[in-house]
């Protein structure tokens, strides 16, 4: 596993993270590892859009749409 160092983090932000870690019953290290894991497993909006594009692409022509409309109207 790789060590990660983040420099120049403002003191107030460190204090907030420490408080949140304590409230979660975790060390700051465990809290940050969980935060990183959560962030890296959640897809970005761009990744979600690319996935939707791949999964929802359909080869439907306007003729197919018009035929479906006509079919629906004929069934009334």
pLDDT digits (tens, 9 = 90+) for 24-44: 999 999 999 999 999 999 999
- 23: tokens are 């409230």
pLDDT digits 0-9 by tens, 1-28: 899 999 999 999 999 999 999 999 999 9
Contact 29, 40 (CB under 8 A): no
Domains in the chain, number: 1
- 6, part of any domain: no
Beta strands in 1-76 (DSSP E): none
- 3, part of any domain: no
Range of the domain at 69: 11-74
The Cα–Cα gap between 43 and 40 comes to 7
- 32, part of any domain: yes
Give the chain's radius of gyration (CA, Å).
25
- 1, part of any domain: no
- 5, part of any domain: no
């Amino acid at each position: 596993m790789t060590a990660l160092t983040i420099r120049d983090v403002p003191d107030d932000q460190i204090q907030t993270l420490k408080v949140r870690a304590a409230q979660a019953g975790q060390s700051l290290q465990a809290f940050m590892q969980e935060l990183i894991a959560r962030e890296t497993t959640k897809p970005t909006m761009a990744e979600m859009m690319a996935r939707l594009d791949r999964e929802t692409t359909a080869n439907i022509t306007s003729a197919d749409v018009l035929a479906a409309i006509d079919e629906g109207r004929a069934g009334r």
